[in-house]
Structure 1
Amino acid sequence: MKLFVALGSINMLLSVALGAFGAHGLKSKISSEMLSVYQTGVHYHVIHALGLIFIGILSEKLAGTSLAGWAGWLMFAGIVLFSGSLYALSTSGVKALGAITPLGGVAFIVSWLLLAIAAWKSL
């Protein structure tokens, strides 16, 4: 499960870089409403990148269940779908991309649920 620590670390790097780009590169290029949408993407990106690291570290303690692995992959998918769609929506203005965002949100919710179940089973 070191893979999730690596994925989380790479996603932290990306979220910091994308956050800085939004704050400095997009501030004068997109509306304040779209900048807020972009910042929401960055916010959830950071939280769930840390979640991936957390899963990678905890996975040894949650041995004997594949739920932690599923949680990690769903969390990664959530980053791509949720944050990725908000980045694309805010920079392109294509409103249809907003339909993808809830799929990422569901992936986040299910990933946290699976992690909780894995922890419960390991008690």
Structure 2
Amino acid sequence: MRISVVMAGLNGAMAVALGAFAAHGMAGSEMDYARGLVEKGAHYQLVHAVALAAIAGLVHHVPDEKFLRIAAYAMLVGIIFFCGSLYAIAFGGISAFGAVAPIGGFAFIGGWLLLAAAGYRRFG
């Protein structure tokens, strides 16, 4: 689960940096749409970075950690596809990436459901 901790730290730092850039570096009404996308991406990225850290901390308490490992990877895929697509649209104007965002959203949902399944298996 070392990768989960590393990815949690890197994604957390990136989310904070992008959120700060959106708030301070994307001023002006012509940037409102792009700033909103970056803020949304940073928010989801930060929430899921914290989830990755929590998952890494749970590994020692769950006998069969398979669900936790898959949950961590699903959340990482969600960050790449959902947040990455928002950033691509905001910074590159590549609106075609909007079609990729739902893949990331489904990965986020799957990650949370796998986390729930791991908890049920351990504490149910």
Give the 3 Å change call, closer, same or farther, for CA 63–2 of structure 1 in structure 2: farther
Task: Return the alpha-carbon distance in structure 1 between the equivalents of residues 101 and 38 of structure 2.
Answer: 12
CA–CA separation in structure 1 for the residues paired with 2:27 and 2:72: 32
- Which stretches in structure 1 are left out of the alignment for 5+ residues? none
Higher helix share: 2
- TM-score (ref. length: structure 1): 0.93
Q: Normalization by structure 2: what TM-score?
A: 0.92
Residues matched between the structures, number: 123
Map of 1:103 onto structure 2: 103
Runs (4 or more) in structure 1 with deviation over 6 Å come to: none
Taking only aligned residues, the RMSD between alpha carbons, in angstroms, comes to 1.4
Q: Residue 68 in 1 paired to residue 68 in 2?
A: yes
Contact 2:52 2:72 in 1 (8 A): yes
Measured against aligned partners, the alpha-carbon deviations of 1:73-96 in whole angstroms (never above 9, x if no partner) come to: 010110011111101101122211
Q: How does 1:84-103 map to 2 (within 5 A)?
A: 84-103=84-103
Contact 1:2–1:57 (CA<8 Å) still a contact in 2?
no
Query: Match of 2:44, SS?
Result: helix
CA contact (8 A) 1:22 1:35 kept: yes
Distance in 1 between residues matched to 2:30 and 2:75, nearest whole Å: 28
